[in-house]
Amino acid sequence: MPKYDYDLITIGAGSGGVRASRLSASYGAKVALIEESRYGGTCVMRGCVPKKLLVYGAHFAQHFEDALGFGWLVDGARHNWSALIAAKNKELDRLEKVYQQMLLDVGVDLINGRGVIVSPHTVEVNDKRLTAKKILVAVGGWPVIPDVPGREHIITSNEALDLSERPQSILIVGGGFIAVEFAGIFNALGSEVHEVIRADQILRGFDDDVRNFLAKEMEKKGISIHRNRIVRSIKKTNGRYSVLFDHGDQLVVDCVMYATGRSPNTDGLGLKELGVALTNKNAVAVDCDNRTNIESIFAVGDVTDRVNLTPVAINEGRAFAESFFNKNPTVLDYDNIPSAVFSQPPVSVVGITEFEARKKYDVEIFMSHFRPMKHTLSGRAEYIMMKIIVDKKTDVVLGVHMVGEDAPEIVQGLAVALNCGVTKAQFNSTIGIHPTAAEEFVTMRDPLPDSSSDRENI
């Protein structure tokens, strides 16, 4: 008789939990995966995937306008929001089935219900107790909304992805990934968009040139960014929402969305009762092997609040499975993780910001901003910004930043180079592909003079 029912019980079928379970099972482990909602988790059901489908949908507005400059006459194009949401939902249903099938194919037992850890080796689900040698917590996070009078009127990105109608006007609170992405979607589809931030610029943590450049491009598209503002209250009047700010000014809109961060889903899982150590942000504290302070309990993904990105969760899940079910100890390297914001235009970065670089290195900054070839005919006044940060002493590239069409597609390739320790001389000796925007990355020759006022002009 085996000592435990399973080798591994995973709680949470999001990106990290699915990868860890699937891989562990493929290495011969007996695995159960418990999920109380839908397979795929935040990324597939409420995040990256549906958001990107909406971003694609929103892009057509600009494509139709740009087409005119190339001889096309696109008469009477209209958007049907419900059709987009229905198509998106159909795709999510398909993806969920694919996820389930992949897990079933390697023999993972799928259990629908809420798992609660009741001992270091026991999980209770649907009034049954199951035991496992290892338990993996991969339950992700959930949007947080600050306490504000009228809180009940607020939607988050969860609801924004499923609105029955597109609001004519929307106020989005927050200046992070989600806020700028949704501001771009609603603006492109024709809504009046107000983004309200408590700081003086969007995207805290990103390179200042990226933040300033993107904000300018967003404002050019008609998004109003209200800086240094805090919402005091939200009141419903005649089917609309009146939002009062700390400065005494107010706005009336059809919808109020908050994108003010996410918090790990650690409540009600039995973690505190068992003495699993949590961080001051209520995340599960783990070591580099994804292990908690309890030998048999592990955690991966957003619930650990390390780098909250899907590919990071997937790779944490992979490292866990490799280490404990394939005798291949694997520790994830958190340096040079590339990321993208699917704003309009999009942002993509790998490596560090100029601000971080200047704290440690003597740096050279290479920067370019230009109008992409496509817009010479479309007439659109949209620019691209690229920036390379170099350690003057070693010539090693410390950071690459881009705002503009296709930025995520371009920066993904450059991330490989940064991971290999690429130097600026190697950028310079690389032949460009002409005519592309990307070739600008290998043709920037002159660093900005230290006292450059160039960046003020971009």
Quote the Cα angle for 401-44-276, to 5°: 90
The CA-based angle 135-311-86, given to 5 degrees, is 100
- Distance in Å, CB of 182 to ligand NDP, minimum: 9
Nearer to ligand NDP, 203 or 388 (CB): 203
Pick 33 or 231: Cβ nearer ligand NDP: 231
Q: Which residues contact 115 (CB under 8 A, 6 or more apart)?
A: 9, 11, 34, 36, 123, 124, 125, 269
Q: For residues 93 and 38, what is the distance between their CA atoms, to the nearest angstrom?
A: 9
Q: How far apart are CA 154 and CA 241, in angstroms?
A: 10
Report how far residue 369's alpha carbon sits from residue 382's, in angstroms, rounded to the nearest whole number. 10
Q: Which amino acid is at 59?
A: H
Q: Give me the least distance between CB of 146 and ligand NDP, in Å please.
A: 4
**CA distances in angstroms from 400 to 102, 352, 354, 391, 394, listed in the order given:** 36, 8, 10, 12, 16
Distance in angstroms (rounded) separating the CA atoms of residues 213 and 197: 16
Shortest reach from residue 324's CB to ligand NDP, in Å = 26
What's the burial of 246, exposed, middle or buried (CB within 10 Å: 0-12/13-18/19+)? Answer: exposed
> CB of 171: closest distance to ligand NDP in angstroms?
12
Q: Nearest approach, Cβ of 178 to ligand NDP (angstroms)? A: 3
Question: Whole-angstrom Cα distance, residue 253 to residue 194?
Answer: 9
Rounded to whole angstroms, how far apart are CA atoms 314 and 18?
8
Q: Do the Cβ atoms of 167 and 192 come closer than 8 Å? A: no
Coil vs helix vs strand at 236: strand
Residue 173 or 389: the one with the smaller Cβ distance to ligand NDP is: 173
Residues that bind ligand NDP (CB under 6 A): 146, 173-179, 181, 197-199, 204, 259-262, 308-309, 339-342
Per-residue exposure over 41-52, b if at least 16 CB sit within 10 Å of its own CB, e if not:
bbbbbbbbbbbe
- To the query of whether residue 434 is one of the catalytic residues in this protein, the response is yes
CB 128 within 8 A of CB 140: no
Residue 261's CB is within 10 A of a number of other CB atoms, namely 16
Q: Which is nearer to ligand NDP, 100 or 308 (CB)?
A: 308
Using alpha carbons, select from 399, 310, 410, 301 the residue that is nearest to residue 11.
301
Closest contact distance (angstroms) between CB of 291 and ligand NDP is: 23
Q: How far is the CB of 305 from ligand NDP (least distance, A)?
A: 9
Q: Which of 178, 185 has the CB closer to ligand NDP?
A: 178
Active-site residue, from 153, 369, 375, 434 = 434
Phi, then psi, of 317 in degrees rounded to 5: -60, -40
In angstroms, the CA 135 to CA 117 distance is 8
CB of 400 to ligand NDP, least distance (A): 17
Taking the least distance from each CB to ligand NDP, the nearer of 47 and 115 is 47
* Eight-state DSSP code of residue 88: H
Name the β-bridge partners of 324: none
Q: Residue 78's closest CA among 90, 60, 91, 55? A: 60
List the catalytic residues: 434
